[in-house]
Structure 1
Amino acid sequence: MKKIKFILIYFLMAFIIIMSVSSCTQQAPKKPAPTSDEPKEMPKVVEEIESEIISIMSEVDMIPYYEKQIQEKLKKNKEKKELSIKMGMTSQSDSSQSQEGNGQQEGTEKKEAGEIDKLVEFEPKPITINDILLSEILESETQKIKGSNTQEIPNHIDFIWDKINKKIRELHKKWNSLESDVIKSGVSQEPVMGFEKTLNNLTISANNYNFLDTLVYSNKLTSYIPDLVENFKKKFPTPIYYMKYYLRQTVLACKIKDYNSASSNYSKLNIYKDALVSQLVDKKLTELANKLNTSIKDLEDSLLLKDLNVIKIKASVVMSNIQLVKEELSKQ
Structure 2
Amino acid sequence: MKKGFIVLILMIIIVSSTSCQVRQNQKPTTYKKSDKASEGLYRIVENINDIIIDVEKAGKLSATFNESTSLIEADILKEKEKKKEEIKKAWEEINSKIKDSHESWNKYEKEIMERGATSEYILKFKNSLNGLTVAVENRENKDIINYGSKALFDFSPFLELYKDEFRGETSRIKYYVYQSYLAGENNELEKAKDLLDMTEEYTAGLRQKIEDDQKKMKIFEKLVLSLQDMKEAINVGNNNLLKIKRDIILQNIKDIEE
- So what's the TM-score if we normalise by structure 2? 0.72
2:43 matched to 1:56? no
C-alpha distance in 2, partners of 1:60/1:318?
Answer: 18
Question: In the alignment, which residue of structure 2 is the partner of 1:208?
Answer: 138
- 1:167-178 matches, within 5 Å, as 167-178=97-108
C-alpha distance in 1, partners of 2:173/2:145?
Answer: 17
Which one of the candidate residues 80, 83, 90 is aligned to 1:153?
83
Q: Retained in 2: the 8 A contact 1:39–1:232?
A: no
Q: 1:307 to 1:173 in 2, by over 3 A?
A: same
2:164 matched to 1:222? no
C-alpha distance in 1, partners of 2:90/2:251?
Answer: 28
Question: In the alignment, which residue of structure 2 is the partner of 1:240?
Answer: 170
Task: Give the RMSD, CA atoms, in angstroms.
Answer: 3.6
Return the letter of the residue paired with 1:65.
Answer: K
Return the letter of the residue paired with 1:190.
Answer: E
Q: 1:54 to 1:290 in 2, by over 3 A?
A: closer
Q: 1:263 to 1:275 in 2, by over 3 A?
A: same
- 1:281-292 matches, within 5 Å, as 288=219, 290-292=221-223
Cα deviation, residue 281, structure 1:
6.2
Q: Retained in 2: the 8 A contact 1:251–1:262?
A: yes
Question: In the alignment, which residue of structure 2 is the partner of 1:185?
Answer: 115
Where does the alignment leave 5 or more consecutive residues of structure 2 unmatched? 1-19
2:227 matched to 1:296? yes
Aligned identity (percent) is: 23
Question: In the alignment, which residue of structure 1 is the partner of 2:10?
Answer: none
- 1:115-154 matches, within 5 Å, as 117=74, 120=76, 123=79, 152-154=82-84
Q: 1:152 to 1:56 in 2, by over 3 A?
A: farther
C-alpha distance in 1, partners of 2:127/2:187?
Answer: 27
Question: In the alignment, which residue of structure 2 is the partner of 1:142?
Answer: none
Q: 1:284 to 1:62 in 2, by over 3 A?
A: closer
Return the letter of the residue paired with 2:139.
Answer: Y
Where does the alignment leave 5 or more consecutive residues of structure 1 unmatched? 1-23, 32-37, 81-116, 125-150, 328-332
Cα deviation, residue 178, structure 1:
1.3
Q: Retained in 2: the 8 A contact 1:240–1:276?
A: yes
C-alpha distance in 1, partners of 2:159/2:196?
Answer: 24
> Of the two, which has the highest radius of gyration?
1
Cα deviation, residue 216, structure 1:
1.4
Which one of the candidate residues 162, 179, 183 is aligned to 1:249?
179
Query: What secondary structure does 2:38 align onto?
Result: coil
